[in-house]
Structure 1
Amino acid sequence: MSEKGETAMKILYATSEAVPFCKTGGLADVSGSLPAAIAAEGAQMAVVLPLYRRIRDQFGSQLEYLCYDYVNLAWRRSYCGLFRLVRDKVTYYFLDNEQYFNRGNLYGYMDDGERFGFFSRAVVRMLPHMAFWPDVIHCNDWQSALIPIYLKDDGVREERYRAVRTVMTIHNIEYQGRFGPEVTGDLFGLDSGWVNDGTIMMDGDVNLLKGAILCADAVTAVSPSYAEELKYAYFAHGMESVMRRCAYKLSGVLNGIDMKRYDPAADPLIAKNYTAADLSGKAADKAELQRLMGLREEPDTPILAVVSRLVAHKGLDLIREVFHDIMELPVQLVVLGQGDEKFEEFFSWAQGQYPGRMAVRLGYDEALAMNIYAGADLFLMPSRSEPCGLSQMIAMRYGTVPIVRETGGLKDTVHPYEAWRDAGNGFTFAAYNSGDMLFVIRQAVGLYWDYPDHFHRLRLRCMEGDFSWRRSAGEYLRIYSGITGKPRVKPAGEDPESRIGEEALGKPAVQEESAQPAEPALQEGTAQLAEPAHPEKPLAAALVERVTEQVRTEKPALKAPEDTKPAEKKTAKRKGSADKKETSADKADK
């Protein structure tokens, strides 16, 4: 309680997966980090998820059995056990039913609708057995989308449910929980009125996500840009009219990453730890990555990395279109992932075309992924759509400069490099176009080779970005406060005026006319261009033109005197690599 006697808000976070208990994707990372961050900000926090077999096998000895009850779902009356585990000031509840959850995988079964219908129904009916009655139930994706609907349905008969507010977070609107209308009563136990009035109907199907969006008191998307994109057909997968209708309660809250888990200074999975103050370990990690992937051990050649599901919306078709153009650059390419057969076959074939310069590993290996984040110099994410994205934030945390398309959370976290004032934390392109992507890749590679001091400062800005969950937790607490009318109770010692500014994300602060002059190294590097009194646009255009042209022609870039000799060595090496590449390409064409 606060000094004024205010009690902390009570939040129940409902999710189908959470780290460290179970994981198939990014939802688990969010569910494993956000609740603890919200609890640290002063809320009473609990998480509820199914008791899957893998959780029982790994954490069974740590679980505390509380009680059991029976949950009615349509004509079924099923056992539900309640288990508990407390960690990081968060209480985790696990709902047990072996018929539904004692299986090898989390999803992918023909009765997934019934399984998560039971989960949602059990969350509502088991509330009296939990430690507190929540002010807010925070739901995530379609697997928990029935909770706001059941609360409305039960609230007609039981007053205690009417005070519970709900938040629905959309992690990926492509997955909506769609079923035939005939299952409404038999599968979910809902009256036909929910179908007849259109609340849960969409294009002839029962659509659980639509029903949750309409019934929830607040709706959030996992980044501000994604929240805006969901109002348009290109991104909304048929739900744009619903999102525009509910725009008044829609917010975009940017996800974060676990800054302790993803820390190059302490990560046990990488070859050598390092910090922004001492990057010598990153050079060692680069050498180890080249060894692991069978690449030429060339410490000066930049490594461009892709760690991704190999599916179309990740922009892999753009890479395929200009693949040979990318490989004409003085760069090595590393790909880790699995997915669509056509992309797996393409990258497997591509590896054979450029031995020693391109390597692919199909599948997912956490240790190898971390070695890639630590050892690479550039990280490519040309996604067609990306609700938030965690990979670009992890890459920046490890000093690997991102190259991304401006969509969703990529747009919110990566801000374009601006040569004229040495600002930004990555390289971006707007149009979904392979030519535009290739242009910024050339810029990035050119900056690496020809302006190493500028690239070094860019790398440091990436590492200094704050992608912690504290910012997101504060946003969610404001949303909870708005829908409950209860003030946020701040933890003791917190400065009520403290806020994390845009610079924490690496977004450059706009310099005012009275600002201090740029640091000497930048002035020296740009003074040679002899720009007029207002150099912003001319200097930016000149620097981009010079970097791009230099990559294409393989001519040395304009350098400060002390960098001349190293630049000559690198340029000679690059030219030799390019000559070899052209020869092998000619042979391949013949």
Structure 2
Amino acid sequence: MRITFATAEFAPLVSVGGLAAASAGLVSALRANGVDIDVMIPDYGPDVFSAAAHDWVEIGDAIEVDVPQWAGPASIRRVDHRVAGLVHLVATPGLVRSHPYLQPDGDGWRDNSERFLRFSRAVAAWANAHRPDIVHLNDWHTAAAAAATDPDLAVVLSLHNAAFHGATTGEWCTQIGPRGNHYEWWGGTNPLTGGIALADAVVAVSPTHADEIRRPDGGFGLDELLRARGAAVSGIINGIDIEVWNPADDARIAAGFTADDLSGKDICRADVLTELGWPDDAMLAVAVSRLTPQKGLDLIVDIAHLLGDIGIRLVILGAGGRSEEQALCAAAEQHPHHLAVRIGYNETLAHRLFAAGDLLVMPSRFEPCGLAQLQAMRYGTVPVATAVGGLVDTVVDLDAHPRTGTGIVAASASAVDLVSALHRATRRLGDRRRLANVQRRIMRRDVSWAEPAQQYIEMYQRIAR
């Protein structure tokens, strides 16, 4: 089976959010199952690829792609990356920037929609020329490729975050492909609506989120279209790369550990507490996240004064909106003995926090899948999470299911419910022996890509022409 797999992000070449890790993890697992995959990503240029270029070798000359004048000229470089394997870098006008999506001031590039429409047109041209069994598109950045992909090629569209449509006021529907009429959206063009309408299969990144996006209160304006697709819409939970996230052999953490021997986790915990200058007299909670309204960590500002009474100390690693960052930093300054905030994303620190934590705080308002809870469980850190999206599919409440539970579930993303969930966590897991039993349980869960990859392969086989 041969797949053309198009995505705006692919770890470790270009990584802005969870799309990069999800794309790379699935591709790696599919390749391990013998699937032949052409990975297509935008050629963002030397600023974005400065680090990755040290780990790749270019193969042959650039390949010219036959696209309409508005989308071109287009060419493709093939690189063999030490970690990612073979990747195709697609060059079309406007793609080369200092950041895939954002200007230096943090606002999005004004022509983002047009940039990715051109990229999508080149992806379709490649697929039409090379005739794969499946064209697998990811999020709005690539969804417009379905308009110009030959109808006899099967198309999959994965929705990693349906809140982002890539809609533009420009009238591109007549240009993006023969079936461009499906992309009309209130007088403009919406890449996601057309992709949903034309794909043979639409896949949300968790079963619960697949249900949520078909409801008016969770579909981001797409619920009616998604309901109309019926059985074509499904959900497959993401996995994580268990070689990258492996506490037994992780050079980034103070000591390795396994489910059978947790002594190294105690060392990791002490390492982080020492760095923060905190005593070992409370449960250590961590959060590794984008600081955006979706993630719900603004709730910590409201409850920071209660952390001591709850019996936890919390360290947050993340970046996002300036207002969210400033509010959390101000709360940490007011409550330095129970809250620490580190702005930015540091891969090493993320591993250290997951290795050190007793609890993960994840009060998301919506969560298509979520990776942090899977990474945390791999390192024996118990999630405290809201009952939304992929968190429903991966976090089982310990109070409701003492023998099989994997975390504590908050009823909603509210300050009251988060405080209640944290109190339940400290009451149930404050005893180190009981905590260790749950840690062993969650570390033994299979959070790899093995099962999700099999589900994707079965889906590919069902829809292939």
| TM-score (normalizing by structure 1) | 0.73
Deviations 1:345-385 (A, max 9, x none): 22222222223332111222111111111111111101110
1:29 aligns with 2:21: yes
Q: Tell me what 1:14 maps to.
A: 6
Q: Tell me what 2:80 maps to.
A: 85
The letter of the residue matching 1:297 is P
Identity, in percent, stands at 33
Deviations 1:368-416 (A, max 9, x none): 1111111111111011100000001101111111000011011101111
Deviations 1:484-513 (A, max 9, x none): 16xxxxxxxxxxxxxxxxxxxxxxxxxxxx
The letter of the residue matching 1:246 is R
Q: Tell me what 2:193 maps to.
A: 210
Q: 3-state DSSP class of the match of 2:248?
A: coil
1:59 aligns with 2:48: no
| TM-score (normalizing by structure 2) | 0.92
- Confirm or deny: 8 A CA contact 1:66 1:84 kept in the other structure: no
The letter of the residue matching 1:333 is L
**1:323 pairs with one of 276, 286, 304:** 304
Alignment of 1:266-281 (within 5 A): 266-281=249-264
Q: Tell me what 2:97 maps to.
A: 103
TM-fit CA distance, 1:323 = 2.8
TM-fit CA distance, 1:42 = 3.1
CA separation of 1:416 and 1:277: change in aligned 2, threshold 3 A: same
CA RMSD of aligned residues (A): 2.2
TM-fit CA distance, 1:74 = 4.8
Cα distance in 2 for partners of 1:91, 1:349 equals 45
Q: Tell me what 1:459 maps to.
A: 439
| Structure 1 gaps, min length 5 | 1-8, 152-160, 486-590
Q: Tell me what 1:295 maps to.
A: 277
The letter of the residue matching 1:106 is P
- Confirm or deny: 8 A CA contact 2:77 2:88 kept in the other structure: yes
**2:246 pairs with one of 260, 263, 273:** 263
Shifted more, 351-360 versus 390-399: the winner is 351-360
TM-fit CA distance, 1:462 = 1.2
Deviations 1:11-30 (A, max 9, x none): 11111110121111111001
Count residues with an aligned counterpart: 456
TM-fit CA distance, 1:58 = 3.2
CA separation of 1:150 and 1:382: change in aligned 2, threshold 3 A: same
TM-fit CA distance, 1:64 = 0.6
| Structure 2 gaps, min length 5 | 103-108
Deviations 1:291-337 (A, max 9, x none): 22x23231x52111121111212122433333322332222111111
Cα distance in 2 for partners of 1:263, 1:283 equals 16
Q: 3-state DSSP class of the match of 2:218?
A: helix
Q: Tell me what 2:105 maps to.
A: none
- Confirm or deny: 8 A CA contact 1:50 1:95 kept in the other structure: yes
CA separation of 1:67 and 1:339: change in aligned 2, threshold 3 A: closer
- Richer in strand (by share): 2
TM-fit CA distance, 1:215 = 0.6
**1:468 pairs with one of 435, 445, 448:** 448
Q: 3-state DSSP class of the match of 1:62?
A: strand
The letter of the residue matching 1:27 is L
1:351 aligns with 2:332: yes
CA separation of 1:457 and 1:77: change in aligned 2, threshold 3 A: closer
Cα distance in 2 for partners of 1:112, 1:432 equals 31
Cα distance in 2 for partners of 1:164, 1:66 equals 27
Q: 3-state DSSP class of the match of 1:286?
A: helix
The letter of the residue matching 1:125 is A
1:433 aligns with 2:425: no
Alignment of 1:466-545 (within 5 A): 466-484=446-464
Q: Tell me what 2:167 maps to.
A: 178
- Confirm or deny: 8 A CA contact 1:223 1:412 kept in the other structure: yes
The letter of the residue matching 1:375 is A
Q: 3-state DSSP class of the match of 1:296?
A: coil
Shifted more, 215-224 versus 67-76: the winner is 67-76
Cα distance in 2 for partners of 1:433, 1:81 equals 48
Cα distance in 1 for partners of 2:117, 2:399 equals 50
